[in-house]
A = this chain, B = another copy of it.
């Protein structure tokens, strides 16, 4: 599948790869009342994006998710919305058969209530290809993501993941890995700088997780990452920094790095 050639990638009022650091607050609601609280908390912090981790939603059905997406769209009309329904094996919150996941994701994409869909690279090819085709039909950019909550693969392996995302038609490539040493944290930033040079037109979201990696959530922008996850009410991965502190740090880092 061909990626869009447009660069920077424009999504609503945002530019992915345009130089301005983008912040995304993840929300992990279990039901509608929870979604209202978390979405309002997130919106009040004024992030550029909100990621809805729909795998935390209890008993998800196509209609309940489309209803929730519509509500989220109304609560946060100015934020770009990332829709993610991660499988349990990929770090998701609940076990859902692949066929159900496909139906749920397609329903939300077709509703046009979200702006970006996040899909795990580890999904099988048919599943991934079908959903990417739906996203293309809906003119919706796709994040292909690689997560590793245990370790940080070698630089070459991580770069191969990004190349695989690109060749499969990702509009945005995402890498989130766990460091075991300070050197692992630096390697994730090296991979970012290298990918930025190899693929100048591919927006990137990269991070080294956990407390050890938290520096990458603010310094990643200096090395080529375009977006960072920050904390609203509840985080979705270890090492996320509260929104206001993250913005303050990034603002200062960018001021002295240019």
Interface residues of A (CB under 8 A from B): 181-183, 186, 189-190, 193-194, 211-212, 214-215, 217-219, 222-224, 239, 241, 245, 248-249, 252-253, 255-258
The contact of A222 among B215, B241, B258, by CB within 8 Å, is B215
A–B pairs, 14, beta carbons within 8 Å: A182-B189, A182-B224, A183-B190, A183-B194, A186-B189, A211-B258, A215-B219, A215-B257, A217-B256, A239-B256, A241-B256, A245-B252, A245-B255, A248-B252
- From residue A130, how far is it (CB to closest CB) to chain B in Å? 38
Contact of A256 with B245 at beta-carbon distance under 8 Å, contacts A193-B183, A215-B219, A219-B215 already known: yes
Q: How far, in whole Å, are A149 and B217 apart by their CA atoms in the complex?
A: 29
Of chain B, the residue at the smallest CB distance from A224 is B182
- From residue A244, how far is it (CB to closest CB) to chain B in Å? 10
The contact of A219 among B190, B219, B258, by CB within 8 Å, is B219
Q: How far, in whole Å, are A212 and B256 apart by their CA atoms in the complex?
A: 8
- Residues in B neighbouring A239, C-beta threshold 8 A: 256
Of chain B, the residue at the smallest CB distance from A193 is B182
- From residue A192, how far is it (CB to closest CB) to chain B in Å? 9
- From residue A159, how far is it (CB to closest CB) to chain B in Å? 13
Q: How far, in whole Å, are A182 and B258 apart by their CA atoms in the complex?
A: 12
- Residues in B neighbouring A256, C-beta threshold 8 A: 211, 214, 217, 239, 241, 245
Q: Which 5 A-B pairs have the closest CB atoms?
A: A214-B256, A182-B193, A241-B256, A186-B186, A182-B223
- From residue A217, how far is it (CB to closest CB) to chain B in Å? 8
Give me 14 other A-B pairs in contact (C-beta within 8 A), A215-B219, A219-B219 excluded.
A182-B189, A182-B222, A183-B190, A183-B194, A186-B186, A186-B189, A186-B190, A211-B256, A211-B257, A215-B253, A215-B257, A239-B256, A248-B248, A249-B249
